[in-house]
Structure 1
Amino acid sequence: SLLTLQLIDELTNTKGNGNREAFGQGLGQFLSGAFGGMGGCTTIGQSLMNIHSGGSTRLSSSVAATFMLLIILVAYPLINLIPVASLAGVMFIVTYFTIEWGSFKIVLAALLPEKVREKRGIYTKVKRSDCIIMLIVVAVTLIFDLAIAVAVGIVCAALVFTWDSTSLIKMERAVSPEGDKVFYTISGALFFGSVKPLMSLFPDPRSEPKDVTVIFENSEIHDWSGMVAIKALHERFENNGATSIVFEKLSVSSHKLMMKSKQLWEGINYYHEEKMDVAADPEITSHMHVESRR
């Protein structure tokens, strides 16, 4: 029902109320079950037919429900006279307006090699993983139903996002002019999938300056694995002779997440305020040697 609401909003340039839709559906299911009926939900096909027939207000849905009730109670003998084959044309129209025909061109562009796309002037390519998810959802819809297909699509998209996020983590290394301080600036999401790539970005701490500052600029800690990675970094530098280890510029949400288990971080200096803004000091920045790794 909520997917149908989103589609109808796009067609009518309106903004529906998802909470009201869910409440109405739940109330209708409850009343239907109380009187021995079978529950239902909004369907895309009938909604599209209604919109393309000019019905775009609440009156159209009320009229449709009223006529459906009349057909079931008194007019079913007349409906039985209509040949089933005559409904095929109606279904073709519903299918025509339901399918997003431009998506076929997008899928084709995603499957073609880059040289072929450039030669043919096709510039509608999206990520191949998106097209694969699209095809999986279509297949699951045909085999099972739309609800299961949506759930499968969400799971697949989440897995792809997790995989892609692991490659977005990066680290920049900067050394002070005196060579006695090192600054590591981390960017990207820090979670279970990016912990191992992040740890591999740090050089051997035995050859690094003993005053260490790790700056979480444009970075966010999302889960327990991310917090454990911070503690592991602290222990790595501490065990190799670091005299000062500070974690700075943690986001407010990341700092709040760590504060909930602050007993685990005793002895670790971490701040969400800007204790030192390296980029703001032109003298330091101009003499720093910066390395970028990802």
Structure 2
Amino acid sequence: MNFAASLDFKPKLVSTLKNYSFDKFKNDLVAGIVVGIVALPLAIAFGIASGVSPTVGLITAIIGGFIVSAAGGCTVQIGGPTGAFIVIVYNIIANFGLEGLAVATLMAGLILVALGIFRLGTVIKFIPYPIVVGFTAGIALTIFSTQINDFFGLGLKNVPSEFIPKWGMYLSNFGNVDWITLGVGLAALAIIIVTPKISRRLPGALIAIILVTLVVSLVPGLHVETIGDRFGSLSTDIPEPHGFELSMATINRLLPSAFTIAILGAIESLLSATVADGVTGTRTNSNTELIGQGMANIIVPFFGGIPVTGAIARTMTNITNGGRTPVAGLVHAIVLFMIFLFLMPLINLIPMACLAAVLIVVSYNMSGWRTIRAIFHNPKSDISVLVLTFLLTVIFDLTIAIEMGLLLAVILFLRRVMENTEIKVYSEQLDIAEGSETTHHEMLNVNPGVEVYEIDGPFFFGVATKFDELMRTTIGEKPKVRIIRMRKVPFIDSTGIHNLEVLIKSSHDENIQVVLSGVRENVRAALVNAGVNTLLGDDHICDHITKAVEMANRLAPASATAAAAATV
């Protein structure tokens, strides 16, 4: 097998640079500068909310954003830290420390690369929408909950990470609200909400941070907690790469968290890319995008960064400001790097209440309450899946929600496939055109003692069990020959093959012959590899129903037919 040929890794940067022009560069330059400015407050806020310093948030946006644009499969994707990771990152740091987060992020990157190598990019997109909405809304509520302390100036220390105990502490301490801090937060919130009404191109979060920081810094006697108060003077030194200890014990403990980061990152980045494709008319290479995201998450931990994924808001900002190639994403990372080198002392002055207002708006935009309201008009199964995923995310944690969500996705898929898979039984006469688009109908006479079972759908473990139950519960005289018509079976799995083998053996024990009809080439190859042809006989695997019926009529005892005629 040629591995290089099978690897679906074609970065969009390479293909777009072949026909690149100065006009495209001007558009990408403007878009990159705007996105870099928009990304600044978000990177700082997401870093702080995740339990790390603002510097870590910026480093993640710089390195991760650069790699996503350089190696990804989407022309306009902007990568960096996002709100979706706040909950999982905060919990990992609380339980395993910063080194545990680095190991989990590295492992998540390897998982993402593996998903891309094995061409699973398109599969990720088929996770049911209610599940995605459920845990996105759950994340939004959790992010909102983490900002109450800073927004109201409660001054609480060691706030529980669990949702219910956290709100219990909040409610018992609401008498300690700092009204100046609350006023600063409300002012920032108002600016963020009003700015888009003036112009959608204006970065509301950045304007709020600049204006509120200026007022707090210049008005005498107006003091609220700032980034500098909490984190001290932020370093402008470029972090050097560093390693961390890996052991099987650490890997085993962090594997569930790494899996959660990888799946969440894959879903969010591909969702962002899909939205971008719909606006720009381009087509994302999902497998390349996953590999690019994986590479970013492999490299970022060595510089102390947090998980990276595609960011929908920043990607859409890139598009609306004219960005059309990955060069805009590279420019955005360079702009952030320049800010990191020269403007970090000013970041110390930003009030924590202002960042809390930024994240409250982020959580509101993530909540998707309009989508939730629309889903509540859907079937009850969709509603129950959404509610369950939401509650698991909020009350327990995102790891459990992702795992249960994926399990629910599989169960829903199997249920729908089984509901749409039919098994029909025929005897005496069979119309070979039934169930097809042809208008030419031909009736085949089936001898007494011959029964035809048609499977309409994939013969996997769920359907195999359904077919086995049908065979066991069939009432009446046992046939002499069983024809299993498989023209509409696109694939068969190991359980289907096993059940078929059991059926053939039990039928032979009862002196019942089995003939397979309409077997497709890929299904026949699977049966041959499993040795079913040896058990059954090559001549008993037919490519058309007419051949199968002819054989079955020969195998059914003619004396039985004659005896029946003589009796009449």
Structure 1-normalised TM-score? 0.70
Aligned twin of 2:330: 62
* Cα 1:5–1:253 shift into 2, 3 Å: same
Aligned twin of 2:371: 103
Moved more, 210-219 or 16-25: 16-25
Q: 1:90 deviation in Å?
A: 3.5
Give, in whole Å, the separation in 1 of the partners of 2:497 and 2:475.
20
Aligned twin of 1:154: 406
Aligned twin of 1:289: none
Checking the alignment, whether the CA contact within 8 Å between 2:501 and 2:532 is kept in structure 1 is no
2:338 is equivalent to residue 85 of structure 1: no
Aligned twin of 1:250: 519
- 1:207-243 CA deviation, whole Å, 9 max, x = no partner? 144243221232245322211222232234333333x
Aligned twin of 1:197: 466
Larger radius of gyration: 2
Letter in structure 1 aligned against 2:452: F
2:373 is equivalent to residue 134 of structure 1: no
Aligned residues: 260
Moved more, 225-234 or 100-109: 100-109
Q: 1:157 deviation in Å?
A: 0.8
Q: 1:88 deviation in Å?
A: 4.4
1:240 corresponds to which of 498, 510, 533: 510
List gaps (5 residues or longer) in structure 1.
Answer: 110-124, 280-294
- 1:40-93 CA deviation, whole Å, 9 max, x = no partner? 312536535734863644344233322322333321121222323233454354
More helix by share: 2
Aligned twin of 1:273: 543
Q: For residues 43-58 of structure 1, what are the structure 2 equivalents within 5 Å?
A: 43-44=310-311, 47=314, 50-51=317-318, 54=321, 56-57=323-324, 58=326
Letter in structure 2 aligned against 1:160: L
Aligned twin of 1:170: 423
Letter in structure 1 aligned against 2:424: M
Give, in whole Å, the separation in 2 of the partners of 1:264 and 1:205.
29
* Cα 1:227–1:263 shift into 2, 3 Å: closer
Give, in whole Å, the separation in 2 of the partners of 1:154 and 1:71.
40
Aligned twin of 1:231: 501
Letter in structure 2 aligned against 1:40: P
More strand by share: 1
List gaps (5 residues or longer) in structure 2.
Answer: 1-264, 430-444, 550-568
Q: Which is bigger in relative contact order (C-alpha 8 A, separation at least 6)?
A: 2
1:207 corresponds to which of 473, 477, 482: 477
Give, in whole Å, the separation in 1 of the partners of 2:333 and 2:543.
58
Question: Aligned-pair RMSD on alpha carbons?
Answer: 3.5
Aligned twin of 2:74: none
Letter in structure 1 aligned against 2:541: Y
Letter in structure 1 aligned against 2:520: S
Aligned twin of 1:181: 450
* Cα 1:4–1:149 shift into 2, 3 Å: farther
Checking the alignment, whether the CA contact within 8 Å between 2:272 and 2:310 is kept in structure 1 is no
Letter in structure 2 aligned against 1:38: G
Aligned twin of 1:222: 492
Q: 1:246 deviation in Å?
A: 0.9
* Cα 1:84–1:67 shift into 2, 3 Å: farther
Checking the alignment, whether the CA contact within 8 Å between 1:234 and 1:268 is kept in structure 2 is no
Structure 2-normalised TM-score? 0.40
